[in-house]
Amino acid sequence: MKEPSRSRAVTLTAVMAATALLISIMKVEFPFYPLVYLKFDFAEVPSALTYMLAGPRWGYMCALVHYAGLLASRGDPLGPTMKFLAVASMLLGMQLARGRQRLSIVLGALVRVLAMSVANLLVVCVLFPSWLPIIRELLLTAGIRVGGWGDVLAAALLLTGVYNLLHTLLSVLPALLIVREVRSRLGWPTSPLQ
């Protein structure tokens, strides 16, 4: 069966990017405890859907348009940039698996965790070291004992890794369920991961 044409891929990408932006603007999200500044949201599902239905290039384009919309709607570029890095690294990991579904999810999560660990190191250690005391208080409030600043950073990176692993599952698994149904109804090949 045929893959979507270029015009369908462009249309799908535009609709999914608009959907992602709408989800972000509506703040359909919930915090990750104890690092409550990290939020689970469903705005990544449209990029995963676009990736699976139209291909990697269109999934990245959906994430990029979503990013541009977030930059335009918010004054602070840090949050949108971190969101884009998370989604793009997840899609890159999925692309490395070349269509092997389980491996795609695992590599998507692994590349995302690694990329976001580096990004968080840069943010906390270079750009905003004043955030370490705030993170320490969040950890202590949750009952996580931390000693020096190295312990705070290590705990934050470990928890951020867990968050990114869980967020990959939250983004990819619903997309897989939707894509399987769409592909069966449209008569497209059954492998949803490119």
As a whole-number percent, the residues of the chain with pLDDT over 90 amount to 80
- Banded pLDDT at 5 (limits 50, 70, 90): confident
As a whole-number percent, the residues of the chain with pLDDT over 70 amount to 94
- Banded pLDDT at 1 (limits 50, 70, 90): very low
pLDDT given at position 4: 62
Q: Which residue has the higher pLDDT, 4 or 132?
A: 132
Q: Which structural domain, as residue segments, surrounds residue 134?
A: 6-186
Residue 83 included in any domain:
yes
pLDDT given at position 189: 66
- Banded pLDDT at 192 (limits 50, 70, 90): low
For the chain, report the end-to-end CA distance as a whole number of angstroms: 15
Average the pLDDT over 101-119 and give the result. 95
Residue 166 included in any domain:
yes
Q: Is the pLDDT of residue 87 over 70?
A: yes
Q: Is the pLDDT of residue 3 over 60?
A: no
Residue 154 included in any domain:
yes
CATH number of the domain enclosing 18: 1.10.1760.20
pLDDT given at position 193: 60
- Banded pLDDT at 194 (limits 50, 70, 90): low
Number of domains in the chain: 1
Residue 164 included in any domain:
yes
Residue 74 included in any domain:
yes
Count of CB atoms situated within 10 Å of the CB of 70: 21
Which phi and psi angles does 74 have, rounded to 5°? -125, 150
Q: Kindly tell me the number of DSSP H helices and DSSP E strands found in the chain.
A: 7, 2
In this structure, of 5-14, 40-49, 103-112, 166-175, the range with the lowest mean pLDDT score is 5-14
Count of CB atoms situated within 10 Å of the CB of 128: 12
Q: Is the pLDDT of residue 137 over 70?
A: yes
pLDDT given at position 140: 93
Q: In whole angstroms, what is the distance from residue 17 CA to residue 4 CA?
A: 17
Residue 192 included in any domain:
no
pLDDT given at position 55: 92
Residue 191 included in any domain:
no
Residue 19 included in any domain:
yes
Q: Which residues of 143-167 are buried (b: 16+ CB within 10 A; e: fewer)?
A: ebebeeeeebbebbbebbbebbbeb
Q: Which residue has the higher pLDDT, 95 or 184?
A: 95
The strand ranges marked E within the chain are 29-31, 39-41
Per-residue CA distances from 151 to 133, 136, 156, 161 (Å): 12, 9, 8, 15
Q: In sequence order, which residues have a C-beta less than 8 Å from that of residue 184 and are 6 or more positions away?
A: 190
